[in-house]
Amino acid sequence: MHIAWLGKKTPFCGNVTYSREITSALTNRGHKVSFMHFADTKADGDEVPLPFLYTSQVFTIPTIRAKRVLERSLRRRKPDLVHASLSLSALDFLLPEICQELDLPLISTFHTPYDAKRRNVTSTSQFLAYQLYAPFLAKYDRTIIFCEEQQDLLVKLGVARDRIIVIPNGVDEQKYSPGVSNIKAEFNAKQIYVYQGRISTEKNVESLLKAWKYCNMRDYGCKLLLVGDGPLKPNLEPFYGIEHGVVWLGAIRDDARRIEILRGADVFILPSLVEGLSLSLLEAMSCGTACIATDAGADASVIADGAGVVINTQGVSAQLRTLLPIIRDHDGWRDILGKSARQRVLDRYTLTGNIDRIEHLYGEILAPVRAVG
């Protein structure tokens, strides 16, 4: 099968990881993948660069030429189908028209985070993105989302239920696994706590930092490692530094380094106001790390029933002020949470299971085409 994959390779974010892991797994299973992404390089083998004016972790502004380049590449390569890992760009809205003209089946993965309860300004803004996308997603042959709540939201906005399929994210459980790590020795810490993701408003990192500082975690030999970059980092870093046990590591693209950090971590914390289904959370769980996450997006269902600690998106800092000292002082609880998190990934969120379902979807979409052919 030949898949034209439209996704992201930079800057580093969950969408980049998703595209990389899925396309690599599909290639390993013998499929041909033409990777189309926004870049300013020349075409190289199975990669097709699309011209852009601006790109970030959140959205991309393509040039006027991008549509022509995409159409020309699809005509020349003649894939069996197109799968777009939507990157919040104008091309997302043009793809149904392009693929209809070329008679190509079109599948999307819709990553936009959400909070179905709309409990804050950020979640309300994300809801507007769902309202914007819904009329166009209705024209895709299928849209992959991560949980039933997200499906219900899109159905309310006019997308036919039979055009939406729930396929949760998955991680390579052999690659992301418990193991030896020297992180504690490297950072001279008794306990390591980790946040991994964008340093941005919707991720609510400041609430974590406030609680961390209030609890004087550094006085107990604890370090908080922040893995990621984003627009709020310059505003927060001067006020939460090594004197508070906070270490800013920036974005880390090297998987081995990120795995070493997660393996050595005692607790992973995700204080987001909105989410989809966090790959960072699944990676931490797969490494056997105890996890705390808000009930935004699908994350609550991932760690529910003992696979982690779920907190409310409202009053995150206050909840963490209570929770941090408790989890800090109870080694046994952390161990139980870590083992339960690992088992939850093995049961429900492996990359192999994810690819199996995506392959099945491809076959389902192509069956009528092949029957006619």
- Give per-residue pLDDT as tens, 133-143: 999 999 999 99
Which residues neighbour 304 within 8 Å (Cβ) at sequence distance 6 or greater? 310
Dihedrals φ, ψ of 277, to 5°?
-135, 105
pLDDT above 70: residue 43: no
Least confident of 49-53, 239-243, 317-321, 345-349: 49-53
Mean residue pLDDT across the chain = 93
Q: Which residues pair with 291 in a beta bridge?
A: 268
Angle of helix 14-28 relative to helix 351-372, nearest 10 degrees, comes to 60
Q: Which residues pair with 195 in a beta bridge?
A: 226
Tokens for 332, please give them: 């046994």
pTM of the model: 0.91
Q: d(Cα 361, Cα 21) in Å, to the nearest integer? A: 17
Q: Where are the alpha helices (DSSP H) in 157-290?
A: 183-186, 205-214, 233-236, 255-264, 279-286
pLDDT above 80: residue 333: yes
pLDDT above 60: residue 193: yes
pLDDT confidence tier of residue 287, bands split at 50, 70 and 90: very high
pLDDT at 15: 84
Instruction: Write down the residue that tokens 């300013």 correspond to.
Output: 40
- b vs e for 287-296, b when ≥16 Cβ sit within 10 Å of the residue's Cβ? bbbbbbbbbb
pLDDT above 60: residue 372: no
Within the chain, how many helices (H) and strands (E) appear?
14, 15
| Rounded alpha-carbon distances, angstroms, from residue 246 to 30, 114, 160, 194, 326 | 45, 28, 47, 10, 19
Q: Where are the alpha helices (DSSP H) in 304-350?
A: 316-329, 331-348
197-227: per-residue pLDDT in tens?
999 999 999 999 999 999 999 999 999 999 9
% of the chain exceeding 90 in pLDDT = 83
Rg (CA), the chain: 21
> Which residue type is seen at 203?
K
More confident residue, 367 or 328: 328
